[in-house]
Structure 1
Amino acid sequence: MTDLYEAVRGLDPSRAAVLAVALAIAFGFEVVNGFHDTANAVTTVIYTRTLRATPAVLFSGVCNFLGVLLGGTTIAFSIVHLLPVDLLIDAASKSAVLMVLALLTAGITWNLLTWWFGIPVSSSHTLIGAILGVGLANGVMSGEGLGTGVNWEKAGEVAVALLISPVIGFAAAAALLLVAKRWIPDPKLYAPPPEDPDDRPPWWIRASLMTTCGGVSLAHGSNDGQKGMGLIMLVLIGLLPTGFALDLNTKHGADDARAAAERLKTALQTRGSSAYQPEIDELDAILAKLEGKSSLREVAPDDRIQLRSALFHLDRRLAEFKRLEKPNQAESLDAPRRQLRRATEYVPYWVVVGVALCLGVGTTVGYQRIVTTVAEKIGKSHLTYAQGASAEIVAMATIGLANFVSLPVSTTQVLSSGVAGTMWANKSGVQRATARNIILAWLLTFPCSMLASAWIFVFGRLALG
Structure 2
Amino acid sequence: MMTGTSVVDALNIPKVINIFGSLIISPIVGLVFAGGLIFLLRRYWSGTKKRARIHLTPAEREKKDGKKKPPFWTRIALILSAIGVAFSHGANDGQKGIGLVMLVLIGVAPAGFVVNMNASSYEITRTRDAINNVETYFEQRPDLLKAVTGVDQLIPSPEPGATEPTEFHCHPANTINALNRAKGMLANVESYDKLSVEQRSQLRRIMLCISDTTDKVVKLPGVSSDDQRLLKKLKTDMLSTIEYAPVWIIMAVALALGIGTMIGWRRVATTIGEKIGKKA
Determine if the TM-score, normalized by the shorter chain, exceeds 0.5.
yes
Q: Partners of 1:294 and 1:185 in 2: how far apart?
A: 72
| Residue 257 (structure 2) pairs with residue 341 (structure 1) | no
Contact 1:248-1:297 within 8 A present in 2 as well: yes
- Quick one: structure 1 residues 344 and 162, their matched pair in 2 at CA, closer, same or farther if it must change by over 3 Å? farther
Q: 2:20 aligns with which of 141, 149, 155?
A: 155
| Aligned twin of 2:29 | 164
With over 3 angstroms needed to count, the CA separation of the structure-2 counterparts of 1:208 and 1:288, relative to structure 1, is same
Q: Of 60, 69, 74, which aligns to 1:200? A: 69
- Taking structure 1 as reference, are residues 206 and 260 closer, same or farther at Cα in structure 2, changes over 3 Å only? same
Q: 1:195 is paired with a residue of what secondary structure?
A: helix
1:246 CA drift (Å): 0.8
Root-mean-square deviation (CA, aligned residues, Å) is: 3.6
Q: Which has the higher contact order (CA 8 A, sep 6+)?
A: 1
**Post-superposition shift, 1:334?**
2.5
State the Cα distance separating 1:321 from its structure 2 match: 3.8
| Residue number in structure 2 paired with 1:88 | 11
Structure 1 residue 236, shift from structure 2 partner: 0.9
Q: Equivalents in 1 of 2:242, 2:113: separation in Å?
A: 8
- Kindly state the Cα deviation for residue 369 of structure 1 after the two structures are TM-superposed: 4.6
Name the counterpart of 1:219: 88
**Contact 1:245–1:304 under 8 Å retained in 2:** yes
Structure 1 position 275 matched with structure 2 position 168? no
In 1: Cα distance, 2:104 partner to 2:129 partner: 29
3-state SS, counterpart of residue 364 of structure 1 = helix
Measured in 2, the distance between the counterparts of 1:279 and 1:349 equals 33
Shift of the alpha carbon at 1:173? 7.3
1:241 paired residue number: 110
Equivalent residue, structure 1, for 2:167: none
Deviations 1:66-101 (A, max 9, x none): xxxxxxxxxxxxxxxxxx633438xxxxxxxxxxxx
Residue of structure 1 equivalent to 2:55: 191
How far apart in 2 are the matches of 1:305 and 1:249? Answer: 16
**2:188 is the alignment partner of 1:286:** no
Distance in structure 2 (CA, Å) of the matches to 1:345 and 1:166: 34
Q: Distance between the aligned counterparts of 1:175 and 1:292, measured in 2?
A: 66
C-alpha separation in 2, matches of 1:210 and 1:376: 19
- 1:260 counterpart = 2:130: yes
1:286, 1:307 within 8 Å by CA — same for their partners in 2?
yes
Which runs of no fewer than 5 residues in structure 1 stay unpaired? 1-83, 90-147, 381-429, 432-465
Judging changes above 3 Å, is the alpha-carbon distance between structure 1 residues 173 and 335 closer, same or farther for their aligned structure 2 residues? farther
1:335 to 1:303, Cα distance in 2 relative to 1, 3 A: same
Which residue pairs with 2:147 in the alignment?
A: none
Bigger Rg, which one: 2
1:305 aligns with 2:170: no
Instruction: Say whether the 8 Å CA contact 2:9–2:205 is kept in structure 1.
Output: no
User: 1:327: Cα distance to partner?
Assistant: 4.5
What SS does the corresponding residue of 1:287 show, helix, strand or coil?
A: helix
| Letter in structure 2 aligned against 1:85 | V
Q: What do the CA deviations read for 1:336-395 (whole angstroms, capped 9, x no partner)?
A: 123222222111111111111111122233444543342234456xxxxxxxxxxxxxxx
SS of residue paired to 2:250: helix
Where do 1:339-378 residues align within 5 Å? Answer: 339-378=237-276
| Structure 2 runs not aligned, ≥5 long | 1-6, 144-152, 157-173
